[in-house]
């Protein structure tokens, strides 16, 4: 039987114990920020068939690809975040590092082009110049 230390490492071979391997750190796939867009908000705001959150995500992805290097920003659709504005979409911006905190934003569905450009400006301000 192997001897184990308090840190979860085997004293014989130095391997991690099974319990220490259940949750481990992973390298971030992004360098600047992750943006979460509520899919339910977009479903509620009927814009003639297509989910407004999907349209916003597409527009914001295109804008980020023009502005930032590859892998800088990740856009993800998510389920309800319990911030349910009427005729708006909830967006959460999570910078990977820096002094800026996580921010919830509300996006007007009437002008998704303008909203995506404003979100891009917010990303630049909260993550540094791209």
Residue 45 has pLDDT above 90, yes or no: no
Task: Give 7 or 66, the one with higher predicted confidence.
Answer: 66
pLDDT at 5: 45
Among 6-20, 55-69, 103-117, the least confident range: 6-20
Residue 4 has pLDDT above 70, yes or no: no
Residue 130 has pLDDT above 60, yes or no: no
Give the pLDDT band (50/70/90) at residue 7: low
The fold for domain 33-127 equals: Glutaredoxin (3.40.30)
Q: Are 7 and 1 in contact (CB under 8 A)?
A: no
Report the candidate in 83, 82, 81, 63 with the shortest Cα–Cα distance to residue 73. 63
Report the candidate in 37, 49, 52, 43 with the shortest Cα–Cα distance to residue 105. 37
Task: Please provide the distance, in angstroms rounded to a whole number, between the alpha carbons at the two ends of the chain.
Answer: 54
pLDDT at 18: 63
pLDDT at 112: 92
How does pLDDT run across 75-111, given as a tens digit for each residue? 999 999 999 888 899 999 999 877 778 889 999 998 9
Domain ranges (residues) in the chain: 33-127
Record the pTM. 0.79
As a whole number of angstroms, the distance between CA 47 and CA 107 comes to 14
Beta bridge partners of 33: 73, 95
DSSP state of 85: -
How does pLDDT run across 46-59, given as a tens digit for each residue? 667 789 999 999 99
């Amino acid at each position: 039987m192997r001897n184990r230390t308090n840190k979860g490492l085997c004293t014989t071979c130095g391997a991690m114990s099974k319990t220490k391997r259940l949750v481990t750190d992973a390298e971030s796939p992004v360098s600047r920020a992750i943006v979460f867009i509520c899919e339910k908000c977009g479903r509620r705001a009927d814009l003639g068939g297509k989910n407004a959150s999907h349209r916003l995500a597409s527009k914001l992805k295109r804008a980020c690809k023009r502005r930032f290097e590859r892998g800088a920003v990740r856009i993800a659709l998510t389920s309800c975040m319990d911030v349910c504005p009427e005729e708006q979409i909830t967006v959460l911006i999570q910078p990977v590092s820096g002094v800026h905190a996580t921010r919830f934003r509300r996006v007007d569905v009437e002008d998704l082009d303008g909203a995506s450009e404003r979100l891009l400006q917010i990303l630049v301000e909260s993550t540094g110049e791209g």
